[in-house]
Structure 1
Amino acid sequence: MARKDRMGNRKTREQRSKRRVPEMGYYLVVTDTEATERCFFDGLHDSLPTDMQKKLVIKVVETKTQNLIQKCLEMTVYDAQYRIPWIVFDRDQVMNFDQIIKEAEKVGIHVGWSNPCFEIWMFAYFGNMPAIHDSWVCCSKFGELYKNKTGQSYSKADPDMYKRLVECGEEENALAVATQKYQQCLRDGKTIPSEMCPATRVHELVREIRRKTTPKD
């Protein structure tokens, strides 16, 4: 049964939807991992001032790599006028990595890819993105650095991951490092994501959210 407004009139589905629209956007992040990205983006959202948390939504959904685009499209259908769709995934061993990125962008989905893995983006919080091409090596090396910087063992499922990154590292520097690395790949003539390593586009999503939620002087 449709809900009624204060005057007793039934509300349309569109009217109910509009009341739920967050002022700063609804970020739909579809990823192919079970923990890392969720912990990171949940932590990012939790770090926002309380009033900002109510104005901006970050919803993380997991699915299989081959279903990233379809899942994102399915979930964007609902309230499509204000949902901002992203898929976030790693190069790792994904054979059709470049094709997924191309197809996603073709249908209007933003892509926060990382090469070789998401940890290369988190490396940037500590000032550098080392030239590592193997995801397993990258995760291992990042774990060593994370332990050294935070005093805690690295876990992909750590709910305090983001909090420790910004407390022991520096986010503005991370954004600058990631931008620099990406631009360096372009200067070297590398334009295909699978050839751009180390590189990431996750920083574009983080930068956009931070720009929206950082108080203006």
Structure 2
Amino acid sequence: MGSDDLFKKRKARKNADLQRERHKRAQNKRYLIVCEGTKTEPHYFHGLLEDLGIFPPIVRIAKNQGVSPDRVVAYALELYEEDARQGDAYDAVYCVFDRDKHTTFAAAVQQTKDLKKVDKPFTAITSTPCFEVWLLLHFGYTDQPFHVAGKKSVGDQVVAQLKKKPGMGQYGKGQQGIYRQLKDKLGNALSNAERLRQHGKDTGSTNPATDVDQLVLDLQTLVR
């Protein structure tokens, strides 16, 4: 075989490999998740992704750079634009943060909406008062509002309710393995979260509330 023929075959193989990579990239969207929480939420989503067989090149869970909602959005935008400059922007960016007592909550939510208007695929995944509302919905539906009581913060009140559920007595912030522990109740959580969202629309109530189900459903579509 002449060197010219060998060169042509190598070039054809390289082009075929490139086409396969482009096709694979077209089939596999890339998502970015930036969480306010440094442990609880990332642990939960890492568990979900592992269960779904989705790996970091497809979904990146980035360490946050500041825990206030505005900092979560700002850092997510920084990472998005960094990838965009390299010619392969994320297909979806999720900013996960709580209502809690944050003064920048409303502004951060609005910023994600403004970014979407200029074709930047940002979505705020919020929970009121905190992420544990999503965990609580695994055990049944509730639309009971949570409030500060004595020395317990509003988040403490949600955690206190969660600890009353079977197997959750030792629950603590940052607990690992929480997704796997609750996996068999995920269907309940999804339906209860949608029911709670409808309740909020019907009544104008935003306490409690969570959008975590929408992110879970979006991640599940990556393996369908």
Question: Is the structural similarity TM-score above 0.5?
Answer: yes
Shorter chain as denominator, the TM-score bin is: 0.7 to 0.9
Is residue 30 from structure 1 mapped to residue 21 from structure 2 by the alignment? no
Q: Judging changes above 3 Å, is the alpha-carbon distance between structure 1 residues 74 and 174 closer, same or farther for their aligned structure 2 residues?
A: same
Is residue 128 from structure 1 mapped to residue 156 from structure 2 by the alignment? no
**Structure (1 or 2) with the larger CA radius of gyration:** 2
- For residues 180 and 105 of structure 2, the distance between their equivalents in structure 1, rounded to whole angstroms, comes to 30
Q: Which amino acid aligns with 1:135?
A: G
TM-score normalized with structure 1 length = 0.77
Name the structure 1 match of 2:132. 119
List alignment gaps of at least 5 residues for structure 1: 1-5
Q: Judging changes above 3 Å, is the alpha-carbon distance between structure 1 residues 18 and 156 closer, same or farther for their aligned structure 2 residues?
A: farther
8 Å Cα contact 1:119-1:138 kept in structure 2: yes
Please, which of 123, 132, 136 is the counterpart of residue 110 of structure 1?
123
Residues 92-120 of structure 1, C-alpha deviations (whole Å, 9 max, x = no match): 11012112101112102101100000000
- For residues 152 and 59 of structure 1, the distance between their equivalents in structure 2, rounded to whole angstroms, comes to 31
The more displaced of 61-70 and 156-165 is: 61-70
3-state SS in 2 of match to 1:110: strand
Is residue 67 from structure 1 mapped to residue 71 from structure 2 by the alignment? yes
C-alpha displacement of 1:127 = 1.5
Name the structure 1 match of 2:93. 85
Name the structure 1 match of 2:171. 154
Q: Which amino acid aligns with 1:140?
A: A
Over the matched positions of the two proteins, sequence identity in percent amounts to 23
Deviating runs (4+, > 3 A) in structure 1? 17-24, 79-83
Residues 5-53 of structure 1, C-alpha deviations (whole Å, 9 max, x = no match): x64xx99xx99x95884833222111121101101100000111x4xx2
- For residues 206 and 37 of structure 2, the distance between their equivalents in structure 1, rounded to whole angstroms, comes to 21
- For residues 56 and 180 of structure 1, the distance between their equivalents in structure 2, rounded to whole angstroms, comes to 33
Please, which of 211, 215, 221 is the counterpart of residue 201 of structure 1?
211
Name the structure 2 match of 1:3. none
Question: Number of residue pairs matched?
Answer: 194
C-alpha displacement of 1:58 = 2.6
